[in-house]
Amino acid sequence: MSFKNKIFCALDFSELDETIQFTNKIKNHIGGIKVGLEFFCKNGPDGVKRLKEFGLPIFLDLKLHDIPNTVARAFKNLIDLSPEYLTIHLTGGKLMIKQLIKYKKKTKLIGVSMLTSLDNQDLKESGIMCNEISYVEKLVKIGVSSGIDGVVSSPREVKLLREKFQKLMLVTPGIRLPDDNKNDQKRTETPGKAIKNGSSLLIIGRTITKSPNPILSIEKIIQNIENEI
């Protein structure tokens, strides 16, 4: 896999036309596209179908989380979109995960452990007494034992998880170039260090989408990776 193919751009737009225009601009420079709740709530399945016309792998980031039967029914309505990846919350538990595995076809299920906007203080305030790395590891073990294809991991946990789960797909958000603003992400890292530590795919949004020159920013991301590897 080339470094370009490790980059999935997070298209955090609401409007379909804007999303299509931006994707058309960068489509030859990335490995895939990620769309989440903002896009899906505005454009629904039809919007995803439009994006599939680009022929890029789609990472559908909906973070499904509910009782097993409810999530399974929702999942059945999504699976015909054939996204390459679909996210679910690992805190939904083993039964929820196993229910979805029955219906996933070729789509890879990616488990979300702990959002990159959270840290140890947030865990304490929620009554969770272990630190973030221990908490993430516990959730990942639940996912792996249930048959999950991969997990979303902040850059801070990637190295540890790669050592413990050598064949597991690790998808990493919270990626920033050295001069970038962290914005609302608390656990961030450069693309090069994330790949060096074992990340399989990088989810990168604002570094690309807010750049005055998105293609140049993608080139800088690839250069950062090449400098680290």
Which position among 4, 49, 52, 63 bears the catalytic label? 63
Q: Please say if 94 is a catalytic residue.
A: no
Q: Report the candidate in 159, 207, 180 with the shortest Cα–Cα distance to residue 8.
A: 207
Tell me the per-residue pLDDT of 164-174, one tens digit each, with 9 for 90 and over.
999 999 999 98
Q: What is the pLDDT of residue 117?
A: 76
Residue range 210-222: mean pLDDT, rounded: 95
Q: Which domains does the chain have, with CATH numbers?
A: 3-228 (3.20.20.70)
Handedness of CA 210, 213, 215, 216 (dihedral sign): negative
- pTM of the full structure: 0.91
Categorize the per-residue pLDDT at 157 as very low, low, confident or very high, splitting at 50, 70 and 90.
Answer: confident
Residue range 95-121: mean pLDDT, rounded: 88
Q: What is the pLDDT of residue 118?
A: 76
Q: What is the pLDDT of residue 182?
A: 56
Q: What is the DSSP string of 183-206?
A: TT-SS-B-HHHHHHTT-SEEEE-H
Q: What is the pLDDT of residue 114?
A: 76
Q: What is the pLDDT of residue 201?
A: 97
Q: Which of 46-50, 115-119, 190-194 has the highest mean pLDDT?
A: 46-50
Chain position carrying tokens 């998880």: 161
Categorize the per-residue pLDDT at 1 as very low, low, confident or very high, splitting at 50, 70 and 90.
Answer: low
3-state helix, strand, coil in the chain (%, to 5): 50, 15, 35
Tell me the per-residue pLDDT of 31-62, one tens digit each, with 9 for 90 and over.
999 999 999 999 999 999 999 999 999 999 99
